[in-house]
Amino acid sequence: MEKAKILVVEDEQPIFELIRFNLEKDGFQVHGVFRGNEVIKEVARWMPDLLILDLMLPGANGIDICRHLRMQEATRDLPVLMVTARNEDSDVVLGLEIGADDYLTKPFSPRVLVARVRTLLRRRTGSDTGTPAGGKVTIHDISIDPRRHLVERDGEVVDLSLTEYQILLFLAGNPGWVYSRNQIISNIKGDDYPVTERSVDVQILNIRKKLKESGAFIETVRGIGYRMREEKSD
Residue-wise pLDDT for 198-216, tens only, equals: 788 889 999 999 999 999 9
Q: What is the mean pLDDT of residues 62-84?
A: 88
**Does residue 218 surpass a pLDDT of 90?**
yes
Query: What pLDDT is recorded for position 25?
Result: 94
- Mean pLDDT for all residues in the chain: 85
Q: Which DSSP state fits 31?
A: E
Query: What pLDDT is recorded for position 4?
Result: 93
How many C-alpha atoms does 155 have within 13 Å on its Cβ side? Answer: 0
Confidence of residue 192 (pLDDT cuts 50, 70, 90): low
Question: Strands 50-54, 5-9: parallel, antiparallel or unpaired by DSSP?
Answer: parallel
**Does residue 133 surpass a pLDDT of 60?**
no
Q: In what order do the strands lie in the sheet with 150-153?
A: 137-139, 142-145, 150-153, 156-157
Assess contact for 55 and 63: CB atoms under 8 A: yes
**Does residue 220 surpass a pLDDT of 80?**
yes
pLDDT in tens, 82-109: 888 766 667 777 777 777 888 888 888 8
Query: What pLDDT is recorded for position 14?
Result: 93
Q: How far is CA 203 from CA 62, 74, 166, in A?
A: 19, 22, 10
- The amino acid sitting at 161 is S
Q: What is the pTM of this model?
A: 0.64
Q: What is the mean pLDDT of residues 21-50?
A: 95
